[in-house]
Chain A
């Protein structure tokens, strides 16, 4: 069989972009099919059980639910291309209008949690690797093992118990937009971000640890040490960049988990984010909102992962586009 000929850099980027677009189409179809092809009658839900069959039929027609599903999917997808996520069945409001004001909360929560997780995980994981034959390194490993087993929302509950309820340092719940001032905004975000990032730090720290152990066995690390760099200097100067490839991959893949975690953390701390919107929509069976927001989150994850893959070209001059080994 002929070996695959490696493509040039722009072609590879273009190919990755194509994969991303195809993924979005497939993902949207998947979301649509689950939300619309399964039994359940939106019109009936909206009108309540007492509604007459005629009224239900009329509403179905109004929503366009009497059309076959491929037509409905086509209409929905065409809307997506114009940044139109459809209209809520319940309120008739465009879904996007409900999404936009909540986007900020979730973005801040997820973004800050990821940054904090990296700030904790990279030193912790490197420490655990370098000192792996000593008690303190073992402790760092054990800490991340424990962190991996703790549900983030439990941490959130305990954190609000201690720091909000008992000590009163931070508000126990709620959100204030950044425009209302940095102090109040930050105070409302501290506990949710910390709770969300704790588990993430544990996950990342384990990857950083194993990536660091790998670097410690690399020939170039030995060369750097023979050149006069001390252990930690050699790791930072020559290991970090090499490690960043696999760590960035994991960060991309973890984003999906982080978004899922954000949904529940928003619930614990009553933050008015996308998670809250989703759960309210689920409770009201507002399928159009659920469908739109779920797809939005999935596309965000797919987009970040596409960017991660493309960023390999920047991080690794050899431009290996294959993903790091991921468990």
Chain B
């Protein structure tokens, strides 16, 4: 099957003199596949996410290739769009329709001067979707789908009248309203408290399952990732250092950084009175990072590959 997204040797650099922040990463996402991307802040996760939809600022220099499958109303067409060379018009037609994105900051991500129902609804018309019964009914249905209470009242609210968790669910409704084949979630739960976090994850998980939709789910929280995705990539300093099915990565991490991540997330193993484990216990930052050259479509875990690069600890 043609992948929805095919990234190869993606490099992004900023500023003058050029400073490269992504050092040639490659991966692909198949229809319905749920891919996690984990790493610390500054590792290049968000840059990757923005690059995929061509949303990086003009100051960014992008090389390599990002290809998005172009579906029409009924399904895949076999056509692909090369994001790095596409026009704004071509990209805009895909954004918010077949491909959507959810951001980290729900507090500031909505237009403060527009009622949220309208912000959701305008995306229907923008992409030319005619809704029997009118877009209002679809908006309310969508707000219900993200488990918002009193959807009529919420649709007529301005963002500042909603809580952070409610706003994030509105943003999710905006991202999902056109039934995308792939949704990029850039730390959608980071800014939320634990209860709101669980709610948002539940809503997303249900949607992806019901629609067999794909996602690129970005987080720095391994526990969050484990519940949502099938396969995962670990990013470090602009490299993908480990990739594979999430269970295998968790059970048998091979990169020292991943080992550190896994160890620090398993607090139930910590004994009272002992110092908590840190990533630094497993991983020496002074050693230059070597990235995987490619992540095959099969997402085979490199831990099983003989002679794996940088293996062992």
Is chain B found bound to chain A in the same assembly? yes
B113 proximal to A (CB < 8 A): yes
Residues of A contacting B111 in the complex (Cβ-Cβ under 8 angstroms): 220, 223-224, 238, 241-242
B112 and A318 contacting across the interface, CB-CB below 8 Å = yes
Distance (whole angstroms) from the CB of B216 to the closest CB of chain A: 13
| Contact stretch, chosen from B86-94, B198-206, B284-292 | B86-94
Distance (whole angstroms) from the CB of B128 to the closest CB of chain A: 10
A228 to B103, CA, bound (A): 15
- A238-B111, A241-B114 known; A223 vs B103 contact (CB < 8 Å): yes
Residues of A contacting B108 in the complex (Cβ-Cβ under 8 angstroms): 218-220
Distance (whole angstroms) from the CB of A318 to the closest CB of chain B: 5
Residues of A contacting B88 in the complex (Cβ-Cβ under 8 angstroms): 230-231
Contact with B along A227-258 (1 / 0, CB 8 A): 11111010001100110000000000000000
From B59, B97, B109, B122, contact of A222 by CB (8 A): B109
Residues of A contacting B136 in the complex (Cβ-Cβ under 8 angstroms): none
B126 and A220 contacting across the interface, CB-CB below 8 Å = no
Q: Which residue of A lies closest to B157 (CB)?
A: A317
A226 and B96 contacting across the interface, CB-CB below 8 Å = yes
Contact with A along B170-182 (1 / 0, CB 8 A): 0100110000000
B127 and A226 contacting across the interface, CB-CB below 8 Å = no
A229 and B92 contacting across the interface, CB-CB below 8 Å = yes
Distance (whole angstroms) from the CB of B186 to the closest CB of chain A: 10
From A223, A225, A315, contact of B113 by CB (8 A): A315
Contact with A along B110-127 (1 / 0, CB 8 A): 111110000000110011
Tally inter-chain residue pairs, CB-CB below 8 A.
77
A316 proximal to B (CB < 8 A): yes
B158 proximal to A (CB < 8 A): yes
Residues of B contacting A229 in the complex (Cβ-Cβ under 8 angstroms): 92, 96, 126
Distance (whole angstroms) from the CB of A133 to the closest CB of chain B: 5
Q: Which of B55, B97, B111, B122 has the most CB of A within 10 A?
A: B111
From B58, B95, B110, contact of A228 by CB (8 A): B95
B95 and A227 contacting across the interface, CB-CB below 8 Å = yes
From A133, A226, A233, A237, contact of B58 by CB (8 A): A133
A310 to B204, CA, bound (A): 42
Residues of B contacting A241 in the complex (Cβ-Cβ under 8 angstroms): 111, 113-114
From B55, B92, B112, B175, contact of A230 by CB (8 A): B92
From A133, A231, A238, contact of B59 by CB (8 A): A133
Q: Which residue of A lies closest to B104 (CB)?
A: A219
B160 proximal to A (CB < 8 A): yes
A292 to B205, CA, bound (A): 71
B101 proximal to A (CB < 8 A): yes
Q: Which residue of B lies closest to A241 (CB)?
A: B113
- A219-B105, A318-B160 known; A226 vs B110 contact (CB < 8 Å): no
A237 to B96, CA, bound (A): 16
Beyond the given A228-B127, A230-B92, A238-B111, please list 10 additional residue pairs across the A-B interface where CB-CB is below 8 A: A220-B112, A223-B171, A225-B92, A228-B95, A228-B96, A233-B92, A241-B113, A316-B113, A317-B160, A318-B160
Residues of A at under 8 Å CB distance from B?
Answer: 133, 218-220, 222-231, 233, 237-238, 241-242, 315-318
Closest 4 CB pairs of A and B: A228-B96, A227-B96, A219-B108, A226-B101
